[in-house]
A and B are shown apart, each in its own frame.
Chain A
Amino acid sequence: MTRPVLLASILVCTSVLTATLGFNGYLIHAMVIALIGIAWLVLHSLNKMPLDWLAFLLFSLASLILTWLDVSHWLVLTCILTALLAWDLTAFETKLQGIPPEDTHPMESAHFTRLALVFGVGLAGIVASGFIQVTITFGLALILALLSLWGVSTLVYRLRNRG
């Protein structure tokens, strides 16, 4: 199950990014993205995945750039989520190599359940942000944003120390 979902996520992400950039007149950028996507697919089919992180980073940054074009927010979100999914499943599939099928199936179920939870809560949060309006001053918003940066830093530090 992992491989089809992984291939589908790379294809969707590449297609959406390429099409969106292409329709907005960024033909060269669209071609570069398409080439990266094809390289990701080819390298993956050859079981060579040393630069999957780079593809994920580039696709995420390209998705971020889409927000400044007149593109639907949901398309941008689709790109980010599929890139994250492809990157996650690439690592997961590497982990499954050499594992007997009786272990693979329960682990796939657990992994996809956790991913569904993460993506579900994330999407719910984004949808909720469209409805719930909290009016705060710019200063407070800035403090909150800086707090979140500090929170992420602390989280990463803690995770790395534990690992």
Chain B
Amino acid sequence: MRADFWRKKRFVKLRGLVRRPLIFFILSLFLLFPSFFLYAQEDNQPCYGDAIIVGSIGEPITLVPILAADSASQDIVGLVFNGLLKYDKDINLVGDLAEDWEVSEDGLVITFYLRKGVKWQDGVPFTAEDVLFTYKKLVDPHTKTPYSGDFERIKKFEVIDDYTIKITYKQPFSPALASWTMPIMPSHLLKNEEDFKHFARHPVGTGPYRFIKWETGSKIVLEAYDEYFQGRPYIDRYIYYIIPDQSTLFLELKNRNLDYISLTPLQYQRQTNTEFFKKNFRKYRYLSFGYTYIGWNLNNPKFKDKRVRQAINYAIDKEEIIKGVLLGLGRVCTGPFVPNSWAYNPAVKPAEYNPEKARQLLALAGWKKKDKEGILLKGNERFEFTLLTNQGNVSRRKCAEIIQQKLREIGIKMHIKIVEWGCLLDLIERREFEAVLLGWGLSRDPDCYDIFHSSKTGPREFNFVSYKNKEVDRLLEEGRRVFSQSKRKEIYQKVHKLIYEDQPYTFLYVPDALPIIDARFRGIEPTINGIGYNFIKWWVPKDKQRFKR
């Protein structure tokens, strides 16, 4: 941007020289120079200052990175801490606290070369000691962390020197790299703190923002960290307001008390197209990293038959669901990977809406006759089942209603049961369900071993539909062994195709993320990785800044 500016100025100068007398030119240059300079600065040259006020429905539970499981906690943790690695705008892993890393030939040893000169927000230098400490805490049986799994695979953790770590795994495990996006905690502050109680509400990290205060139930305030190793963020303060009601959140935005919230599809399509919103806000829309699906209990004799699942896939019109539930703001899902993931297989085309084909497939599976009500029969058994989903999610409820009607058209009677989240998980854990309507939020790494591998069907494990396919098993294992992204891409694209073919889930849709941000913020560049990746580069022109220090 700086280079552009100089080129522009030289051009002006040359033109003036040709057309105007020299004195006039010099005078005008003097007159124009400051205004040109200011103009250019306003438009292209990022400047410091101002605050961003983010509205959130949820409140963080804890700011200890290795304990933070909810998205609100991670919002804040992500600004205060850094991992060894991070995802860039194209969802490639790049160094964060690690400058570089090496994976041994056999994939067993990962060596991280840490960045030098990084300082914790209290001034103490960051070293390998901190990484070792974080690792030890993660695998300490007394730590209440949900994330120990990936780190239990480590055989040996060696600190070579202050800035080099050598980690040996029991087996090659390529998602290990992604696991090192785990934020690193300061050893010097936590060594003697038994249970993070103080730290949970007064975190100190290496990240772009320093924690200032947390007023329980209402807001969290962060401030730019001047010595951030990737350069101080432009926006001085980050204020996180907790407003647990979607309508109130929207009213506060409308009153311009908030700068950044996530819209619902209804708000995006119907309530934010006024002149007021166009003038004061910018809406963004990109595919999210998650999908909504129906999971079939494959131990249930009805759904054991692949043809039945395929028939249901043909009978459900996903486009209609997207139109009705998301008001068009989403895309049909074709498998366990979303379009923005590198593992996505574009060759897998979604099955068309074709009730006739559905009926044929059901007939092949033995569901031929119908009773008085028009419900399919196999022997004496009626095709009737209950779809479970969780309370409090309007889109899922609507979605279930559309599906209910579509299935009724081909002679399947579906009941809908909406239960509270905790109860739903209990029913799933006990496998007391026929079908569930749920969503997965995905990590950037495509490894979905825990969801689809046949060894993960035990209690508390996540292949709760009990999906078993030897070929998929083999591929998922290989995907974990291989480090090369191009090879993994091949593997996961195969997985994508096989799983869509098998239909252990009926994949429904990938919703769009719909953030809205005050128009004064510059530097926001949506990519397949959303908008948050370059937050520290967002800025506000001086004359538009609302909050002075």
- Do A and B come from the same complex? no
Residue ranges of A at the interface with B (Cβ–Cβ < 8 Å): none
Residue ranges of B at the interface with A (Cβ–Cβ < 8 Å): none
